[in-house]
Amino acid sequence: MIELSNIEKRFGDAVILKDITLRIPEGNVTALVGPSGGGKSTLLRCINLLEIPTSGTIRIGEAEQSFKPGQKTGWQAIQKIRRQTGMVFQNFQLFPHQTAIENVMEGLVTVLRWPTDRARQHAMELLTKVGMAHKADAWPSTLSGGQQQRVAIARALAPSPRVLLCDEPTSALDPELAAEVVDVLARLANEGTTMVMATHDLRLASKIANDVVFLEAGSVVETGSARSIFGAPTQERTKRFISTLNAGHSYDI
């Protein structure tokens, strides 16, 4: 279970997130949707403390941390939360000087101190899971965007995180390559992987999300099941947003 209680994030005088309270069950996929600048990515980065909330409380499993304005959060407290999460970034962020399998192994060897042979075996299992075993020894520069993102997903899964966080995982890809990534994430969802993703891609959200959170101007406008939010939203602002994104497209909701 992931619980966010009264999360606020400020940058100077600008309030980016306002009193966000959410409960995300384990085994569920939750999509954060909304217009650009609505706070989706910031909220995602607050969950694993890449951004430190100004105030509020985060709980992931047994790890819990509260925040107050002007109060510094210690590195050990940050790591306790961060170790529960895996992060998939919009632009892959693979290490260019390492092969695909070395990218997946890196955190296991340097952070978790796994023996190299054990880390390599686990990394190959994950590359197989995302359909990239045949590119294990390839350099990132030789891979397509979709292939790089699949390696990035394997890397995020390597330490067996409690939750996989995906920040616009398909937005840097053309539709064909994005479909590869959607299929991988869908398989992970079917296996019961807990995910929270910020996305503009309704195909991705409608295919794999159980729940949807619509954010605008740093506030939660509406939450509900994917079917209810995409099919019959109750808030007028949500209706306008969904109708705009749906224009000219058909989604399997």
Which tens digits make up the pLDDT trace of 53-101? 999 999 998 899 999 998 999 999 999 999 999 999 988 899 999 999 9
Q: In this structure, are residues 38 and 53 in contact, taking their beta carbons and an 8 Å threshold? A: no
Report the percent of the chain where pLDDT is more than 70: 96
The better pLDDT of the pair 46, 207 is held by 46
**Which pair of tokens denotes residue 243?**
């109708």
253 confidence band (pLDDT: 50, 70, 90): very low
Residue 236 has a pLDDT of 93
Work out the pLDDT band at 171, boundaries 50, 70, 90: confident
Nearest residue to 42 (alpha-carbon basis) of 229, 217, 179, 250:
217
Residue type at 243 in one-letter notation: S
In this structure, which amino acid lies at residue 231? G
Overall average pLDDT of the 214-226 stretch: 94
Go through the domains of the chain in sequence order and give each one's CATH number.
1-84+163-174+183-197+205-253 (3.40.50.300), 92-160 (no CATH)
Query: What pLDDT shows up at residue 245?
Result: 65
Phi-psi region for residue 100, left (φ > 0), alpha (ψ -120 to 50) or beta? alpha
Type of residue numbered 101: I
Tell me what the mean pLDDT of segment 176-188 comes to: 90
pLDDT of 124 > 90? The answer is: yes
In this predicted structure, what is the pLDDT of residue 203?
76
Give dist(CA 93, CA 37) in Å, integer.
22
- Provide the whole-model pTM: 0.91
Answer yes or no: is pLDDT of 251 > 90: no
| pLDDT top residue among 141 and 243 | 141
In this predicted structure, the answer to whether residue 248 has a pLDDT above a threshold of 70 is: no
Provide Rg for the chain, Cα atoms. 18
What is the pairing mode between strands 63-67 and 85-88?
unpaired
**pLDDT given for residue 200 in this prediction:** 83
- Interatomic CA distance for residues 218 and 63, integer angstroms: 25
Strand 195-198 and strand 29-33: the pairing is parallel
